[in-house]
Structure 1
Amino acid sequence: MLLFSIIASAVAPGLALLTYFYLKDRYDQEPLHMVIKVFLLGFLIVLPVMILQRGMILWLGENPIVESLLVSSGVEEFLKWFVLYHIMFNHMEFDEPYDGILYATAISLGFATAENLLYAWYSQAAFGPMMIRALLPVSGHAMFGVIMGYYMGKAKFMKSKRSRRFLAYSLLLPWFWHGLYDIILNTMTHNWLWFMVPLMVLLWYGGMGKISRANNRSPFRFINREEEIITHNK
């Protein structure tokens, strides 16, 4: 019973957020098996991330700023971006801007869920700490995924020289926000909540705007509207 409770408390936040982002796709929902596949890829990259992070700590030493910007956010966001770009960027199912957000949040939430399971298993965490992790690390990874996917979607569907710039943004901006998030946690022992709450509010506010803008640029928006008009006139 305890094992089931640990697993449920670790997995539930990631699956709940993944369901939320899946349902936010207004015009052309993605095949569920593709979303699950990308989620599992995020789950699996935890192992290479842990190996790389351990090696970098041994090489660079333990410095909270370096650990926040390079070891933690740098390695995690780069590997998520690398896998997402090579698996999904040119995939036929990536056919509207919002798909970038959905697949990026899927890989991010898969990674966050695996982290959650490891944390819950090794610390035997109670309900309270797991709720905090649902509100902060899991939610944070989701928002970093929204930023990554939004700019990757812009890079894919913008037919100009600026597409490369947006592809760079899709890596650098999540890296920046993740690094800032980790710096707050790693360098502030008492007042971190006063900085973390505004940061999460800002990320969620910006993320909701990006979701709306990505959906509004969907080519299926106008197709669906024409079909509704034709159906209405029959």
Structure 2
Amino acid sequence: MIAMIGAAIAPGIAIMSYFYLRDSLEPEPISMVIRSFIFGMLLVIPIMVLQYIMQTEWNWRSGVVAEIIQSAVVEEFFKWMVIFFTAYKHVEFDEPYDGIVYAVAVSLGFATLENLFYLIINGLNIAFWRALLPVSSHALFAVWMGYYLGRAKFSQKKEQEKLFLWLSISLPIGLHALYNAIFLSIQNWLVVIVPFMLVLWWQGLKKVQRAHDYGSKNLSSRPQ
């Protein structure tokens, strides 16, 4: 059981550490990051209950559209809500890259507990693939979410803030939906998912650099 718990939490902790240590401007309080991670974990049960209701009470049991709504829309929406109400309005959210840190923390908290449940049900033999695909994909969707939350937070105009807030929720849902659609509709999904994940990492790291660039500009414009 200890080995299973370790295999479940190690990928999330490793990826979280990477994105946290990339914050070279004004690193976030570790207590805030841990709190966001825990909030993400707490989302798992209510989301699973809602998904169960959608499958049993609403008869959304099969089909690509039903699967995408239950997974991509529900999961990304609730993660976005937690980040918006617990981190976005917090005083510690004081540079654009912070959006990525908090979004990744919430998403990896969710992915870590979800991963533990999957390993308990299916065994350690799937731990490697879970780390490479579902856990890391949750983090990468969060990079897009956090990047645009950071842009929204430090927008000069209300119209810009609204646009970036919309992008911060719609793009992760779209990426998550595409990720799910690959598994659900393509028989030889491995041929497609590998380049898809590589592109996600490439674009995610570009978002990290851009967030740092905006953060540097923001710090240099502050009154001394």
Task: Give the TM-score normalised by the residue count of structure 1.
Answer: 0.90
Of all paired residues, the percent bearing the same amino acid is 45
- Equivalent position of 2:77 in the other structure: 78
Change (3 A) 1:222 1:77: closer
- Equivalent position of 1:96 in the other structure: 95
- Equivalent position of 1:232 in the other structure: none
C-alpha RMSD of the superposition: 1.5
- Equivalent position of 2:148 in the other structure: 151
Distance 2:55 2:154 in 1: 38
SS of the equivalent of 1:94 reads coil
Contact 1:42–1:106 (Cα < 8 Å) also in 2: yes
- Equivalent position of 2:166 in the other structure: 168
| Aligned amino acid, residue 162 of structure 1 | Q
Residues 185-223 of structure 1: CA distance to partner in whole angstroms, max 9, x if unpaired? 12233x101110111011111000000000111158756
| Aligned amino acid, residue 45 of structure 2 | L
Contact 1:11–1:117 (Cα < 8 Å) also in 2: yes
| Aligned amino acid, residue 152 of structure 2 | A
- Equivalent position of 2:110 in the other structure: 111
Change (3 A) 1:74 1:5: same
SS of the equivalent of 2:215 reads coil
Gaps of 5+ in 2: none
| Aligned amino acid, residue 177 of structure 1 | L
Is 1:217 equivalent to 2:178 in the alignment? no
Is 1:52 equivalent to 2:65 in the alignment? no
For residue 56 of structure 1, report the CA deviation from its aligned partner. Answer: 1.2
Contact 1:27–1:221 (Cα < 8 Å) also in 2: no
Is 1:36 equivalent to 2:34 in the alignment? yes
| Aligned amino acid, residue 119 of structure 1 | Y
Gaps of 5+ in 1: 228-234
| Aligned amino acid, residue 13 of structure 1 | P
Contact 2:95–2:218 (Cα < 8 Å) also in 1: no
Task: Give the TM-score normalised by the residue count of structure 2.
Answer: 0.94
For residue 65 of structure 1, report the CA deviation from its aligned partner. Answer: 1.2
Contact 1:143–1:207 (Cα < 8 Å) also in 2: yes
Q: Where has structure 1 moved over 3 Å in runs of 4 or more?
A: 219-223
1:195 corresponds to which of 192, 195, 205: 192
